[in-house]
Structure 1
Amino acid sequence: METSVYIPIISDYGFKATFGNESDDLFLRTALQALIKSEIPIRQIKFDKNVFEALTIDSRSGIFDLSCTDENGTQFIVEMQLAHAPYFVQRMKFYALHKFNTLVERGEFDYVNLPKLYAIAFLAKSILPTTHFHTIANLRSEQGEIIDHQMSFITIELAKFDKQVADIETDLEKLVYTMKTLHTTEPTQYPDFWNEEWLKRAIEELDTRKMTPEERAYFARVTAANAEAVKAEKQKIKEAEIVIKKETVKNALQMGLTPEQAAILVSVSLEFVESIQHNFPTDQ
């Protein structure tokens, strides 16, 4: 808040204040229409209770699950992932198939009239072997023929988007550009399309100059909670890496490598190896 006028859309707070804004869903409706590349406007959106809370344990650092339904019954799952997630496609399938099963159960196992389901993921990093920033995937044959329209997976990789303001034309491009640059853009450099009503309303929700004391307090709590979650997750990763290195050093010593060789193999200090070697007999 001290370094930028606007809160990033891709932050937990920013994502919830824009995509998850239940009192004003114009931004969400316009964004969804652009993401699925539909010419038909989405008139209404109903926010669904998050059905994934009990399924996985997540630090919630950089990801927010949003589930909603339009006036035609079309189902949407929207997620934001900041960290590098090479297996995120598997998570998308997990969420989408769980939602699919829920729809089938509600319909008393009637597969005929199932509504369309879109699993949408915004990724800060690139994970797909594709060149375009926006990917729509469906079930297809080996000849590329579409087999199923009912379930679609949409991935937006922000890192792959590199268009300049002068080249931006579609609502999809305006959306992704805004998500990438809003929090780093000076007020004197705003592109003209940020005055379009759907983007203007969303941007106003992220303007720190217009926040009430209550909103500032809430933002501070969310930011602090996320920082703690990230810190805890990094600590877990660090501890896991140490355990792996210890086991690798033990294996190297058991195979007959000298402490010096083990240190080079595992990329640790000789002191690290010697401390493990010292306790080695009692660990077996």
Structure 2
Amino acid sequence: MNTGVYIPIISDYGFKATFGNESDSLFLRTALQALIKSDTPIREVYFDKNAFDALTIDSRSGIFDLSCTDENGTQFIVEMQLGLAPHFVQRMKFYALHKFNTVVERGEFDYANLPKLYMIAFLHKKILPTAYFHTVANLRSETGEIIDTQMTFITVELAKFNKQVAQVETDLEKLVYTMKTLHTTEPTQYPAFWDEEWLKRAINELDTRKMTPEERAYFARVTAANAEAVKAEKQKIREAVEQKEVDTIKNLLSLNMLTVSQIANTVGVSEDFVHTISQEK
């Protein structure tokens, strides 16, 4: 991910410096309020410690986790997914139910007063069949009637957001526009709403010109580690694709219905590759 003056919010470093900023939670609180479409300001957030011991960061798949609770006991989980994730909805359910079970196991509930739980996921790619970039899902009946709002799943698909700066109005739109464009925007092209305090503070955390030597060193270490993780992930994907191609070629060869040239065109590989696989049979 190329970085100019500003570090991308959707990077590991950027996510932690903004959403995960424990010393200044204004950005996180305003973002959460916008994401859940609440008119009531969130006054405080308390970052959960060790709530997801084995689930916090999975650099290999580009997922960064944040778990916090507001002053009313409402639970929030925020995830960032950069790569393709066709089964990410299942992962969202896993995280949400893990958090739910944690609350239940501690005995901090009764059935009449369970805390609200929001599972929020930012996705760089498109995964849902919905048209809108912001999707809110609850338990509903077959006719669409709300059955329960205690657990809410929210997805933000950045790839579906295509509004220009002049069209941006709500805090939700300002948030997503900033997440998509900050790292490619020159300081002279600031949208007016980036002067709003909640966004200004977050942007300042991502301004490479204002980083201390220690912050620069940490950013360099994180960037290098992420680059290695991405490289390893791409290699895994290539190996998986190649194995699928091999399996498909073997199946087609076993049918004895297509020529080597036809199989190569069907699978999208070279004839030499098909010849190599055929000799391994």
TM normalised by structure 2 equals 0.92
Residue pair 2:109, 2:115 contacting (<8 A) in 1 also: no
Instruction: Give 1:3 deviation, angstroms.
Output: 5.4
Q: Which amino acid aligns with 2:232?
A: A
Partner of residue 189, structure 2: 189
Partner of residue 20, structure 1: 20
Q: Which amino acid aligns with 1:275?
A: T
Partner of residue 263, structure 2: 262
CA deviations on 1:193-227 (whole Å, 9 max, x unpaired) are: 11111111100000000001111111111111111
Partner of residue 88, structure 2: 88
Residue pair 1:125, 1:159 contacting (<8 A) in 2 also: yes
Residue pair 1:61, 1:226 contacting (<8 A) in 2 also: no
Ranges in structure 2 where 5+ consecutive residues have no aligned partner = none
Q: Which amino acid aligns with 1:223?
A: T
Residue pair 1:121, 1:156 contacting (<8 A) in 2 also: yes
Q: Distance in 1 between matches of 2:229 and 2:45?
A: 31
Q: Which amino acid aligns with 1:243?
A: Q
Q: Does residue 4 of structure 1 match 2:11?
A: no
Instruction: Give 1:56 deviation, angstroms.
Output: 9.2
CA deviations on 1:135-176 (whole Å, 9 max, x unpaired) are: 111111122211111001111111222222233222111111
Q: Distance in 2 between matches of 1:167 and 1:254?
A: 57
| SS of residue matched to 1:139 | strand
How many residue pairs align between the two structures?
280
Residue pair 1:31, 1:175 contacting (<8 A) in 2 also: yes
Cα distance change of structure 1 residues 108 and 134 upon mapping to structure 2, 3 Å threshold = closer
CA deviations on 1:60-100 (whole Å, 9 max, x unpaired) are: 45321100001111000001112222221111111111111
Q: Which amino acid aligns with 1:104?
A: V
CA deviations on 1:222-257 (whole Å, 9 max, x unpaired) are: 111111111111111212222222233223222224
**Range with greater deviation from structure 2 (215-224 or 51-60):** 51-60
Cα distance change of structure 1 residues 242 and 162 upon mapping to structure 2, 3 Å threshold = closer
Counterpart mapping for 1:151-230 below 5 A:
151-230=151-230
Give the RMSD, CA atoms, in angstroms: 2.1
CA deviations on 1:27-68 (whole Å, 9 max, x unpaired) are: 111111111111111111111135445259944453211000
Residue pair 1:30, 1:41 contacting (<8 A) in 2 also: yes
| SS of residue matched to 1:38 | coil
TM normalised by structure 1 equals 0.91
Residue pair 2:138, 2:146 contacting (<8 A) in 1 also: yes
**Range with greater deviation from structure 2 (96-105 or 269-278):** 269-278
- The structure 1 segments of at least 4 consecutive aligned residues displaced by more than 4 Å after TM superposition are none
Q: Which amino acid aligns with 1:266?
A: V
Residue pair 1:119, 1:153 contacting (<8 A) in 2 also: yes
Q: Which amino acid aligns with 1:218?
A: Y
**Range with greater deviation from structure 2 (155-164 or 189-198):** 155-164
Residue pair 2:43, 2:71 contacting (<8 A) in 1 also: yes
**Range with greater deviation from structure 2 (246-255 or 115-124):** 246-255
Q: Distance in 1 between matches of 2:162 and 2:238?
A: 34
Q: Distance in 1 between matches of 2:206 and 2:194?
A: 13
State the identity as a percent. 79
Residue pair 2:3, 2:184 contacting (<8 A) in 1 also: no
Residue pair 1:118, 1:154 contacting (<8 A) in 2 also: yes
**Range with greater deviation from structure 2 (261-270 or 111-120):** 261-270
Q: Distance in 2 between matches of 1:254 and 1:77?
A: 49
Q: Which amino acid aligns with 1:121?
A: A
**Range with greater deviation from structure 2 (140-149 or 208-217):** 140-149
